[in-house]
Structure 1
Amino acid sequence: MHLSKPPLLSLRYPLNRSKQTTMYRFIFRCLLLLSLPALANAQEEWVCKSGQALNAMEQLLDFRSSPFTDGYDVKYHRLAWEINPNNYYIEGTVTTYFKPVGSPLTQLYFDFSEALQIDGILYHGQPLAAFSQSNDLLGIPLPEAVPAGTLDSISITYQGAPPANGFGSFAQSTHAGQPVLWTLSEPYGAKDWWPCKQDLNDKIDSVDILVRTPQAYKTASNGVLQEVIADGESHTYHWKHRYPIPAYLIAIAVTNYATYSDYVPVEGGAPIEVLNYVFPENLASAQQATTATVDIMLLFNELFGLYPFAGEKYGHAQFGWGGGMEHQTMSFMGGFSHLLQAHELAHQWFGDKVTCGSWQDIWLNEGFATYLEGLTYEHGLGPNTWEAWLAGKIDHVTSAPDGAVFVTDTSSVSRIFSSRLSYSKGAMLLHMLRWKLGDEAFFAGVRNYLQDPSLAFGYARTADLQYHLEQAGGQDLDEFFSDWLYGEGYPTYHLRWFQDGATVFVRLQQATSHSSVDFFEMPVPVRFTGGGLDTTLVFEHTEHGQVFTAELPGAAQQAELDPEQKIVSKGNTVAEAVFTRQRAMEAEALEVSISPNPVADVLSVALPEGAALYRASLYGADGRWLASWERPGKALQMGRWPSGTYTLELETSMGLSRKMLLKQ
C-alpha cells in the first residue's frame, strides 16, 4: 500500500517459526481455558460476547490469528457477487472449502460483519438454520463433527451495505460522472464485505471470483479473466487465481473501464502481460505512463527473481483513492506516477509472495516496497535521483526524535501504516543493512528469503529475514535489529580529526535522539579530500569516544562524514583539530578556568592571555558527546541540561583542556 522494545508476549528472535506458532496457540488456549467455567452454562452469552473476547486477545497477540478460526485451513473460495456501482450494496454467495486441523471441527467460524444480513447457509445440499452473528464473528454449528484432514465445504448467501472501515474496505465514488465501486481490505477490512478467515497465518490456496454487473461496466480482480458471460442486461466477469493469497489481498473494482495491455519480455519464456483497467477519460495519459512498469519489472526480475505470478498476469485497476494498494496480480491505483507504479509492483514480491506474518512486522511489506522505489532511481529509472531520494528519506525519519519500526500497537491502523516509521525508516533500515553486509551478501540474503520454501507464497516475520541475511553475510545482526528495529530514534555524530604526516587521527563521538538506544553500532564512512586526495575510510564505530588512526596517501584538507548517505543520522558535526599532536598530548597543562562550578545557566570560561577559544564540547558522565559550540565566546548556555556530572572539552589556540563540570 502507498499513502499520498518489543511487547511482553512477542519473541524478538524466535528460535524457529514452529516454536513461535506453538507459543501463540498456547497463550490463546490458556486465555480461553481461564474463561471456560463461566462459559459452560452460558453458551448464548458466550456467543454474544465472543467478539469482545476475540478483540481483546487479538490486540494482545498482534491480530495474527484468532482462536475461533484457527481450527481449520482454507483451501478454496468461490466468491460470487452481484454489484451495481451505482449502489452502495453487495449481495452474493461465498463458498468455502476447508480442512479441519488438529482435531475434529464441530463449529465453523468466519470473520464477518454483523451489518450484513445472512440469507441462507447451505451445507451438504441442506440449509442450516442455526448460526450466531455478533461482534464481527459468524458462528455456524455443524450437524456432525468433521474429522481433521477431511475436505469439506459450506456456502453462505448474504447481502447488505458494508460498513466502511480502515482505508475504505468497501467504497463507492464517481469519476467523470460515472460510478465506481471498489474494495480495499488491508488490514482488517475483508470481514466488512465477505465472510472470511481474516488472519496472517493461513493463505487461501486458490479462488474463483465472479461478479455480475450491468453491461455498461467491467470488473477488475485477481488472477486471469476466464470469461465474460452475457446475461440479458448484465454480464458476469469470471476471474480465476491459482496462487496462495491472504483474505486482505482479494479485491474487486467495478466501473466503465477502458482496457489495454503492456508486455514485459522474459528471456526464454513467454512475456508477462500487464493488464490495465483505467478510467476512459485517462486512457491516453495512462497508456504513456504505464510503460514505466515494463522497465521497473525488468529491474526487479533481475534483482529479486522472476515476477512471482508470471503464470497469470500483473495489472492495474484505477480507483478513486489517493494512493495505491497491492492487490495480488492487480494493483489498485489512484494514479500512475513512477513512484506509485514501482511501490505497488514491488509489493508483489514483498507483501504478496511473502507476506508479513504479523502487522507488527508490516515493515517487511512497506519498508521493502519503499526501498525498491529508491532502487529504481539508483538504476537510472524515473524522474528522481538516488541521492535526492536518500536525503528525503533521512529527513523524513529524523523529523522526530522517537519512533520504532516495529509496531507495538497493532490496534492502531494509523500506527501500522506510519509513513515515517513503517515506510521511510523501514526502507532505510534495509539500506543500512545493505551497507553493513555489502551488496553481494545483502541481495543474496534477500533472494534466499524470497525463495525459502517455508516462506514463499506464505508468511514471514523479521526473524526469518534476519536469518537469511546472517547466513549470506556471515554476521550476527542481533545488535543491529535491537537498535534499528525495536529501538527508537537515530544517532548524531561528532567527528574530530587531525593529520600528522601520513597518519590521520579520528575521534568519533555519538549522541542518540532517544533513550531507548544508548549507542548505534555502525560502520561509519569518512571521506578525506584536498590537494588531489580523495579517499574514503570506514571506521567500525562500537563505543563512545572511539579513537582511530589510519594512513592517508596525501595531505587532507577536509573530511566529510557519511558522504553517500549510508546511515540515518542528523545534526552531525565534523571539525579539524586546531592543535598539533604534541599539544594534544599536553592537553591538561593548559591553564583554563570555568565558573561557576556547579553551574545553573551560564558558564563563563577564562583563558590564558592571548588564547582564543575555537570550540567547546560537552560530554555526559558515560562519555557520550552531547553538544558542541563553535567559536562560542566566553559564555556557554547550560540551562537545558539536567543536573549531573559532565566533562567540558575546550579547544583553544594554545591547546586542549578538559574540565569536570557539575550542573545544578
Structure 2
Amino acid sequence: MLPHRTRSFICLLSGLFLVGLSRITAYAQFQRVGGNPFEPPAATLHYARNRDYHVEHLQLVFIVHPDTHSAEGTVTHTLAPLRDGLSTIVLDAGANLQIKDCTLDGAPVTFEHNGDKLILHAPSPLQRGKYVKVSVHYIMPSGTVGGGANGVGGFKWIDPTPSDPHRAPGFWTQGETDTNRNWVPCYDYPNDKCTSETIVTVPDTWTVIGNGQEGPVTEDKAHHTKTFRWIMNQPHSTYLLSLVGGELDVYRTHWGKTPLLYVTPKGQGALAPYSFSDTPDMLSFYSQLLDFKYPWPKYAEDAVYDFPGGMENVSATTLGNIALTDPRAGLVRTDSLTAHELAHQWFGDTVTCKDWGNIWLNEGFATFMQMLYTRHRFGEEEWQADKEGALQSYLREANRYLRPLSTKLYSNPDVLFDSTTYSKGALVLEMLRDQLGQDNLFRGLHHYLEVYKFRPVDSHDLMEAITDETGINVEPFFDQWVYKPGHPVLQMSWHYDPQSATVQITVKQLQDTSRGVPIFHMPITFGLIYPDRSSSDRLQRVTENCDQAEQEFSIPETAAPAAVLLDPDHELIKQMETPKWSEAEAKAILLYAPDYVDRLEAARQIVAQPGGLTAEREQLFIQALKSEPAWRVASFLLRQLGNLKDPALRSLFLQQTESKQPERVAAAFEALSQLPADAATLNLLHREAISDTAPYVAVGGALNALAKLAPAQNLDVFRHQIEAKTPRDQLAYIAVNALAEAHVDAAGPLLLEAAGPSHFYFTRLAAIRALGHLDRSDSSVSKGLANLLSDSNPQIQQSVIEALQERGDKSVTPVLQAFETQTSDPKLKQAAEDAIANLKRGD
C-alpha cells in the first residue's frame, strides 16, 4: 500500500493543489505525531498468530444492496485442522456483521459471535489434515466500518457528495491490516494463504472487479442485476482479497497473454490509457530484473473515489482516482504509485510477511523497486529525488523514535506503516545493492521468490535466501540495518598535507549508542573534486571501510582537491549537519558534484554569502545553468538570476524556455516576469498560457507570469483556461489563483464564473476568496456572491459568507439575514450572524 515520493507535478492531493512539490505515494505511510508506539507501555510483544487450521479455499457469494447500503453474504471455507481433536473453529468476523447461521459440511452448527470473533462448535472433534467445509451466512448492515492502516479499512460506499454531486455510485473494500473481517468472516492474518472465488451480485448498470481470473457474467433481467465471478487459483493472504464495484469504465489491453484492466469511475475512462500507460513496461522491467515472471492470471488497476493512495490487492490494485492524469502532466505522474503497487505483486503478494512486524518485506521492497523503475523510466535526477525524499522522510521520523526494521515490539500493527518501513526499508535495500552488486542481489531475490512463492516469510528467510544463492554472508548487514535501530550520524573534516601528499580525512560516528544503535561497519566513499582536471578525472571516488567511532583516512593525491564530499552518490542512510562549505568549495560542488542535492545546496550557500549574487557569482550561476541537467537546480538558479531583474539576462531566460523540462520552462517564465515587459516576451507568454497542448506546469508558469506583467490585457487567456476542461480543473485553479494575486477588478465576471457549480470544489473556493478582495464598490460582485448562498455545499456557503464580510458591502445584509433565518446549520447560522454584525459596525 502507499503514500509516495518526490517528483514535480500539478495535481490534487487530499483536497489541495500541490504545484511542483511531490509525486503521489502509497497510502498507509503517514507522519505521526505523539509518543513512541514502539516502546512500553504502549508497545507490547507481538508474535505471529497461532493457527488451528489451514484454509485451502475461500468462496464468497455476496449480494450487494446499494439502496440500503447493505449486503448479504455466504462465505465457505475449505479448511483442514492442523492438530487432532479440534472442536471449535474460530473465524475473524467484524462486530458489525450479523451472523444468521453457520454450517459444517452442510450441517448446522452452534456458534457464538463475540466482538470480532466468530466461534463455531463442531459436533465432534475434527481430524488433523481432513478437509471440511465451513459456511457462514451473514448480513453486512448499512454503514462504513473504519480501521486499518489508513483508517478507512473494510467496506466503503461511494455516493454523490455536495462537492461532487455527479460522482458515480459504487463501493470498494480494503483489508490491510485486519479489516476484511468487517465485510467477510475469514481467517484474517497474513500467515496463512488460500485460493479464492468471489461471486458478487450488483445492479445491472454496475461492474465488479475482483481477484484472479474473470469468470462468466450472468444477468437477471427480472431483478435488474448482474452477477460477476472472479477465481484466484493461486494462494494468497486474505487481507489481499478485494472487490471494487459500481458504475465503472473498464479499458482492456494486455501484456503478452496477461489481461490488463484499467478501471475508473464512469465518465473518467478517457484518462485511463495514459494514466496506466507504463504498466506493460513495468511488468517487463520487474519480470526481467527478478527473472521471475508476473505470477498472476491478470492485472487490474482500479481507480476509485475516496481511496487514500494505493493498495496491492492480489492481481487487482486499488488506488484513488485522484491519481488519474493525462499527457499534459509531463512525466507520467501516476508512475510512482502504480510502480509501487505493481512491485507488491511480487513482494507482498507472491511472498508475504508472515507477521506485521516484518511488513518492511512488503513495503520497503515495493518502495525500492519503484525507485529502480523511476531510474529506468525517468533518469538519474528523478531517482536521486526519490532517494533523497525517502531519506528525509525517515530522518524526520527518526527525530521522534528509532526502531529496528524487523520488530516484534509495537502497540498495534497499523503503526508499523511508517517511514522506517517504507523509506528506510527501501534505502537499506539500495545499500545492499551497492554492496553486493546488482547481479548478486537480484540472483538472491530470484532465489527468495522461487523458494518462498505463495508462502509467508520473515526477514530471516530473505537473509538466508540471499546468502545461499550468492555465497555472501549478509547476516552482518542484516544485524546492523534490519535487526538494530537507527543510523550513523556522521561528521567529516579534511585537509591536505603537502608534505605527505595526502588528503587527510577524519570521520566521526556521533550517534547515541546507549539504546541499541550500533557503531556501524560500512563502506564509505569520498568524492574528491579537481575542477582543473579532465572531465573523466574531475571527481575521484575513494572507498574505505568505516568501523570505528572516530577514524582517520589518508588518501594519496598529488594536489589538494577543491572540495571533498562524503558519500558523493548518496548511497548511505546517514544523518549529517548541513556542511558549511567555503565559497571555493561550494563553487566546485555546484559545477561538479554528481548528485543534484549537493549542487542545489551549494547554490543556496553561494546565494547566502555576504553580498548576495555579486557579478562574479552571477557569472558562475549562468555557467552552471547552461550545463545543469537537473530541473530542480536549474529552477533555483533561474529564480535567483531573475531576482536580479537584469534585462541583459532576457536572452538567457528565453533560451531556457525552449527546454524539454516543463518545470524549468515555468521557472524561466517566472524569471522573465521579473523583467520589464516587452512585446516579444508578452507574445511568448500569451502563446504558452493559452495553449491546449503544452504541459500544465509550463502553462501555469506562463499564466503566473502574465498575471504579474499584464493581467488586464490578457483576460482572454485567463477566461480560456478557466473554461478549459482539464482533470480536476487544474488550469482553472491556477488561473484563478494567478488573478487573485494580481487583484484585477476587471476579472470579477471571470471569477464569478469560476465560483459556479460547474467547476471543481477547490477552484470554486479559490474564486470566492478572490472575489472577496475585488473592488468593494462593484455591486455585481457582491450580488453574484450572494446568489451562491443557495449552493447546497455548506463549505461553499461558509466561504461566501466570509467573502461578503470581507467586501464590507452592507447592501447584502438582507440576503444574509434571510439566509441566517432559513439555514438549519448552526455553524452557518453563527457565521451569518457574525457577518451581519460586522457589516453593521462597518468592519
- Establish whether TM, by shorter chain, passes 0.5: yes
Out of 546, 549, 552, which is 1:544 matched to?
549
1:224 aligns with 2:213: yes
Instruction: State whether residues 523 and 538 of structure 1, in contact with CA within 8 Å, keep that contact through their aligned partners in structure 2.
Output: yes
1:189 aligns with 2:179: yes
User: What amino acid sits opposite 2:184 in the alignment?
Assistant: W
C-alpha separation between the residues in 1 aligned to 2:421 and 2:107?
47
Change in Cα spacing, 1:574 to 1:509, as seen in structure 2 (3 Å) is farther
Change in Cα spacing, 1:441 to 1:322, as seen in structure 2 (3 Å) is same
**Cα offset for 1:202?**
1.4
Q: Which residue of 1 aligns with 2:39?
A: none
C-alpha separation between the residues in 2 aligned to 1:84 and 1:514?
58
Choose 394-403 or 146-155, whichever is displaced more. 394-403
Q: Which residue of 2 aligns with 1:463?
A: 460
Q: Which residue of 2 aligns with 1:431?
A: 430
State the Cα deviation string for residues 478-497 of structure 1 (Å, max 9, x = none): 44333323433322322233
1:99 aligns with 2:80: yes
Out of 135, 160, 173, which is 2:158 matched to?
173
Instruction: State whether residues 484 and 518 of structure 2, in contact with CA within 8 Å, keep that contact through their aligned partners in structure 1.
Output: no
C-alpha separation between the residues in 2 aligned to 1:435 and 1:119?
57
Out of 236, 257, 282, which is 1:245 matched to?
236
1:3 aligns with 2:3: yes
1:259 aligns with 2:250: yes
Q: How does 1:35-184 map to 2 (within 5 A)?
A: 62=46, 64-66=48-50, 70-128=51-109, 130-161=110-141, 163-166=145-148, 167-174=152-159, 176-184=166-174
Change in Cα spacing, 1:478 to 1:106, as seen in structure 2 (3 Å) is same
Q: Which residue of 2 aligns with 1:490?
A: 487
User: What is the number of residues matched between the two proteins?
Assistant: 509
**Cα offset for 1:412?**
2.8
Instruction: State whether residues 190 and 456 of structure 2, in contact with CA within 8 Å, keep that contact through their aligned partners in structure 1.
Output: yes
State the Cα deviation string for residues 24-72 of structure 1 (Å, max 9, x = none): xxxxxxxxxxxxxxxxxxxxxxxxxxxxxxxxxxx96536224xxx221
Q: Which residue of 2 aligns with 1:317?
A: 302
Q: Which residue of 2 aligns with 1:356?
A: 353
**Cα offset for 1:410?**
4.6
- Paired residue secondary structure (2:200): strand
**Cα offset for 1:555?**
5.0
- Paired residue secondary structure (1:380): helix
- Paired residue secondary structure (1:139): strand
C-alpha separation between the residues in 2 aligned to 1:382 and 1:184?
34
Q: How does 1:1-40 map to 2 (within 5 A)?
A: 1-3=1-3
C-alpha separation between the residues in 1 aligned to 2:383 and 2:49?
39
Indicate the structure with greater helix content.
2
**Cα offset for 1:508?**
2.0
C-alpha separation between the residues in 1 aligned to 2:521 and 2:580?
21
Instruction: State whether residues 375 and 386 of structure 1, in contact with CA within 8 Å, keep that contact through their aligned partners in structure 2.
Output: yes
Choose 273-282 or 162-171, whichever is displaced more. 162-171
- Paired residue secondary structure (1:244): strand
Q: How does 1:377-526 map to 2 (within 5 A)?
A: 377-381=374-378, 385-399=382-396, 400-401=398-399, 402-404=401-403, 405-418=405-418, 420-452=419-451, 455-497=452-494, 498-500=496-498, 502-512=501-511, 515=514, 516-526=516-526
Any gaps of 5 or more consecutive residues in structure 1?
Answer: 5-58, 266-270, 578-664
Change in Cα spacing, 1:390 to 1:383, as seen in structure 2 (3 Å) is closer
Instruction: State whether residues 145 and 182 of structure 2, in contact with CA within 8 Å, keep that contact through their aligned partners in structure 1.
Output: yes
Q: Which residue of 1 aligns with 2:729?
A: none
Choose 499-508 or 517-526, whichever is displaced more. 499-508
C-alpha separation between the residues in 2 aligned to 1:519 and 1:473?
26
- Paired residue secondary structure (1:97): strand
C-alpha separation between the residues in 2 aligned to 1:466 and 1:376?
24
C-alpha separation between the residues in 2 aligned to 1:573 and 1:470?
37
Indicate the structure with greater strand content.
1
**Cα offset for 1:227?**
0.8
C-alpha separation between the residues in 2 aligned to 1:331 and 1:285?
17
Change in Cα spacing, 1:441 to 1:154, as seen in structure 2 (3 Å) is same
Q: How does 1:563-642 map to 2 (within 5 A)?
A: 563-571=568-576
Change in Cα spacing, 1:274 to 1:574, as seen in structure 2 (3 Å) is same
- Paired residue secondary structure (2:428): helix
Instruction: State whether residues 63 and 199 of structure 1, in contact with CA within 8 Å, keep that contact through their aligned partners in structure 2.
Output: no
C-alpha separation between the residues in 2 aligned to 1:119 and 1:179?
28
**Cα offset for 1:429?**
1.2
Change in Cα spacing, 1:120 to 1:383, as seen in structure 2 (3 Å) is farther
C-alpha separation between the residues in 2 aligned to 1:411 and 1:185?
19
Instruction: State whether residues 86 and 180 of structure 1, in contact with CA within 8 Å, keep that contact through their aligned partners in structure 2.
Output: no
User: What amino acid sits opposite 1:549 in the alignment?
Assistant: S
**Cα offset for 1:554?**
5.9
Choose 380-389 or 426-435, whichever is displaced more. 380-389
Instruction: State whether residues 302 and 318 of structure 2, in contact with CA within 8 Å, keep that contact through their aligned partners in structure 1.
Output: yes
C-alpha separation between the residues in 2 aligned to 1:131 and 1:97?
18
Q: CA RMSD in A?
A: 2.4
**Cα offset for 1:260?**
1.3
**Percent pairwise identity:** 28
Instruction: State whether residues 85 and 255 of structure 1, in contact with CA within 8 Å, keep that contact through their aligned partners in structure 2.
Output: no
- Paired residue secondary structure (2:217): strand
User: What amino acid sits opposite 1:437 in the alignment?
Assistant: L
**Cα offset for 1:105?**
2.4
C-alpha separation between the residues in 2 aligned to 1:349 and 1:288?
24
- Paired residue secondary structure (1:463): helix
**Cα offset for 1:558?**
2.2
Change in Cα spacing, 1:551 to 1:382, as seen in structure 2 (3 Å) is closer
Any gaps of 5 or more consecutive residues in structure 2?
Answer: 5-42, 161-165, 325-333, 583-843
1:346 aligns with 2:343: yes
